[in-house]
Structure formats: structure tokens, C-alpha cells
Amino acid sequence: MAADRPDLFQELERVPDLAERILEESQALGEEFGRRRDWHSVLFLGSGPLYGLAQEGALKMIEMGGTPASAYHFLEVRHGPNAIIDSGTLVVGLLSQGGLRYELAVLRSLIQQQEATVIALSPTNDPQPFRAHSFAFGLSDFTQGLAYLPALQLLAYQRAVSRGIDPDRPPHLTPFVRLTPEGG
């Protein structure tokens, strides 16, 4: 895929130059939301190449932040996941260029119908009717995840700290899992 898209390599070459701006926005998001006590669970939403990142965000929140979390595609949220979203749910939307209008509509409905707290990580600078953190660096949906990832990690980190959990040594986790043959 990348061999057919030399523009992806050009985007990747730009990411190190964006690192400071990415970390500033990520730190602001983590501090603003990670320490809040008004949510009990997190729902990460992402579509296309950002869905795997939504899964990673949920895993970090579970492992590091000790908080129930799950990840879904934006298209899935109006069905089953809708049943678990309430005013104590933090919804983190990883917005894409390709699905932006639909994804924004989903987030708006979660605020209006379920009264969820919503954070939108956005590839644009357009103002939104909810808290949006702009990651408008001119990246495609395939590389936008590199800009979003530190925000997800810092959100889980701040959540852990606010709950008195050592993020470097979360309870019930080991640095690695050793697999041994049966009987060995």
C-alpha cells in the first residue's frame, strides 16, 4: 500500500517536526480530562485506519488508568454500545477527514441523547459545539493516528495518577507474559 502512496512517506517525514505541537495539545487534553471525576468509563470511537488506535486507547485506559473502556467504529455506536453510554461516560472520538460529517453527527447525538462527556480529536480547526482538541497538521487519515496517540496515552496516564495508581506499575499487570510448555 505505502509503495503506491509516496505522499505517505512525505507525511511520515513531517511528523518529527510536529512532535512538540502534538505533545503540547496532548498534554492539555490529558490534564483537562484525565483528572476529572465525573466519568466512570470511556468509549473510544474510530473508523478506518483510526479504529485500531481507538482499540489501543481503550487498552491503555484499562491497563494504565484502571478504568473500564471499550472501542467501537463510529458506525457501530448507535446500536449495542448506545446501551452503555450515559452521563458518566467519557467518549473520545478520533475524527477522520473522510468521515468527519458523520462522525461529528454521532458525537452530537451522544451529547444530546445520552448526556455523555465528549472529546473530539479533530484533524481540522473547525469549531465544534463540544470540546475539540485540534490536531490539524495536514495529515491523511493513515498518518493522523501518529498525532492522536500521545493524547490517548497521556489521558490514561493522568487518569492513573488521579486515581492513585502508579502508571509505571499498574496493579495486576506484569511487564511481560512468559509462556511455558505444558508441564514445564
SS3 for 29-86, per residue?
HHHHHHCCCCCCEEEEEECHHHHHHHHHHHHHHHHCCCCCEEEECHHHCCCHHHHHCC
What pLDDT sits at residue 181?
Answer: 84
Percent of the chain with pLDDT over 70: 94
Whether 177 is covered by a domain: the verdict is no
CATH number for 38 = 3.40.50.10490
pLDDT at 31 over 80: yes
SS (H, E, C) 85-127: CCCCEEEEEECCCCCHHHHHHHHHHHHHHHCCEEEEEECCCCC
H/E run at residue 160: helix 141-162
φ, ψ dihedrals at 85, nearest 5°: -90, 130
As a whole number of angstroms, the distance between CA 164 and CA 22 comes to: 26
Do 89 and 41 meet the contact criterion of CB atoms below 8 Å apart? Answer: yes
Query: How many domains does the chain contain in total?
Result: 1
pTM strictly above 0.85: yes
Residues across the chain: 184
Whether 52 is covered by a domain: the verdict is yes
Distance of CA 181 to the CA centre of its chain: 37
**Which range marks the domain in which residue 31 is found?**
2-162
Whether 37 is covered by a domain: the verdict is yes
Whether 172 is covered by a domain: the verdict is no
pLDDT at 1 over 60: no
Whether 127 is covered by a domain: the verdict is yes
**Structure confidence by residue, pLDDT tens digits, 80-122:** 888 889 999 999 999 999 898 999 999 999 988 888 999 999 8
Lowest mean pLDDT among 3-7, 29-33, 38-42: 3-7
What pLDDT sits at residue 131?
Answer: 66
Whether 154 is covered by a domain: the verdict is yes
pLDDT (average), residues 165-169: 91
As a whole number of angstroms, the distance between CA 165 and CA 149 comes to: 21
Whether 169 is covered by a domain: the verdict is no
Those residues with Cβ within 8 angstroms of residue 50's Cβ, 6 or more apart along the chain or in another chain: 94, 96, 141, 144, 145, 148
Categorise residue 133: left if φ over 0, alpha if ψ from -120 to 50, beta otherwise.
beta
**Structure confidence by residue, pLDDT tens digits, 32-70:** 898 888 999 999 999 999 999 999 999 999 999 999 999
Whether 12 is covered by a domain: the verdict is yes
